[in-house]
Every structure is written in C-alpha cells, then in structure tokens.
A and B are shown apart, each in its own frame.
Chain A
Amino acid sequence: MSTTMIGGREVHVDEEGFLTQYDEWDEDLAKQLAALIGVDLTDRHWTAIRFLRRDYRSQGETATLRRAAQLCGIPIKELFQLFPKKPAKKMAYIAGLPKPHGCV
C-alpha cells in the first residue's frame, strides 16, 4: 500500500488518493484534504463530514449521498452546493474514507 504526504504528514492512500487508514485522519488533516480539492470548509461541511465519520465507524462502509442526506439533515441539493459536482466522493475524501460503493 502506498503513502503520500499531506500537510507534512505521511498517510496511507489507495491508487486514487483516498485515505485507507481510518485512524490516520483528524480534523486538521481534513482541512488540508479539503484545500487540496478546492473546498472551503464551513460548519455545514463539518456537519456532513463528522456524520460520515461516525456512520462509517458504525456501519463499516461509507454512506451514500442519499443516506448522508437522510441522516445528517442536509438536503441533497445543498450537499451538491457544498461539495460541487461529485458530492459523495468529495465528502468521503475529506472525511478520510473510501468512496461509497452503494448505487443509490
């Protein structure tokens, strides 16, 4: 498994660059990850990201956009504004999680 340097820290990533070790993530790292993909984090972003972290820990897989919208109380339309174009993947990336695998 390969590693990359994010903000002066070495982290494990997959071929695309998604973090692979749940415990290597913290909120400081999230700020660096967000900056790398051009997302300015607001409280609303944090609500989604913290939900995704909690949900992954309990479910063992990354929530799909639909699940995130339903359970963290941010409508899908707003998630598209917060994480433009590819919200599910961008949220997962900043949260240090694998891409969601669910279809819907």
Chain B
Amino acid sequence: MTTTAETAPARVPSFDDESTIGRKLAIICSKGNLDMAYPGLVLANAALGEGVETHLFFTFWGFDIITKARMDGLKFTVLGNTATHLPQGLGGLPGMTAMATHMMKNQIADVGVPEVPEFLDQIVASGGHLWGCRMSADMMHLSLEDLYDGVEDIISAADFIEKTDGAQLLFI
C-alpha cells in the first residue's frame, strides 16, 4: 500500500522560478579605485550565477577597469575615505597609497577573489556582457584595441540604455 508521503511530490528547489525568467541587470561602473571596482564585479558575478542576464557599462573613471594599460594597476587610497578609520593626514604621506593598495589586494586574495583582469575573465566566461563608454573612450583617446579583449564594443550611453531595456540598474 502506498502512503501519502510516498505519493506526495518530492521537495525540489525551484531553479527555474518564473519570477527570475527574463530578469536582466545593468551595472554602471563609474569609479576606477580598486575598492570601487570590486562591488560591481562581485555583484555581476553573483547575478550571472543566478542565471540573470548581466550587462556592465564602464564609464569615466570606471574605464580604467577595462583599459589594458591600467586594469592591473587600480589603487586604493586612504585619502577621503573615512571608513579606513585612519587619520586622514596619514593618507597624504609618500607611499601610503601604494601600501594601502598592497594591503587591500592581499585581503582580497585571502578571501579567494581574483584580481581585476582574471575576474573579468570569469564574468565573460559566465556569459556577462562588457561595454565601454563612447564618451570616455573619446575623452581618453582610446579605442577597442586598448581595452580588455572581452569588451564587446564601445557604445554610447543611449545604446546602453537601449540594450538594457527593462533591466534593474546599479550605479557604482
């Protein structure tokens, strides 16, 4: 004889929940400091792992994140960042930015998070879309060849808004 428990449907996680189908996320990365690059990359990676179509638009200082000549050298500074809880005067001393950057990079590596170029590799491998901002490229006299290989194109702000129609948006 079959019991109710055996005929009840198995409890299975709803991986293809209706509410997430067609979900899109647009992330605008406008800052080039090391500590401001990571939030966008971490969130993009998380969204992709949840099956969310994700587009990143790199603009103004955020252009450094995808500029080959600069992406390895993003920096973290104490100056203007009271969340370090250090006297602001210290931040202006010679070598302080290099030291703070070095320490932050170690902390990021300690939690198993890759450096920026490798993180971009992971985002692209996960299906993420990277876009460079036309105005930033023009201002900095850079072309697609100067950018990280995974960047799909340099597009205008209007193009990005069009591509991310209906998306949720993060401005960082």
Residues of chain A touching chain B, judged by Cβ–Cβ distance below 8 Å, are 2, 4-6, 8, 10, 13, 16-18, 36-37, 64-67, 75-77, 80, 84-90, 93, 102-104
Contact = CB atoms under 8 A, between A and B. Distances in A.
A61 B126 CA distance: 22
Given A18-B13, A80-B127, A104-B112, A86 B45 contact: no
**Secondary structure type dominating chain B contacts:** loop
Contacts of A64: 112
B122 A66 contact: yes
Contacts of A2: 11
A8 B14 CA distance: 21
A89 B13 contact: yes
Interface of B: 5-6, 8, 10-16, 42, 45-46, 49-51, 111-114, 119, 122, 125-127
A17 B12 contact: yes
A67 to B, nearest CB: 7
A86 B49 contact: yes
Contacts of B51: 84-86
Contact of A76 (B6, B11, B111, B122): B122
B112 A66 contact: yes
Given A5-B5, A87-B49, A76 B10 contact: no
Contacts of A77: 125-126
6 nearest CB pairs, A to B: A85-B51, A4-B11, A17-B11, A76-B125, A77-B125, A16-B13
Nearest to B46: A103
A59 to B, nearest CB: 11
B11 A102 contact: no
30 contacts: A2-B11, A4-B11, A5-B5, A8-B6, A10-B5, A13-B11, A16-B13, A17-B10, A17-B11, A36-B12, A37-B12, A37-B13, A37-B15, A64-B112, A66-B112, A66-B122, A75-B125, A80-B125, A80-B126, A85-B15, A85-B16, A86-B50, A86-B51, A89-B15, A103-B42, A103-B45, A104-B45, A104-B46, A104-B119, A104-B122
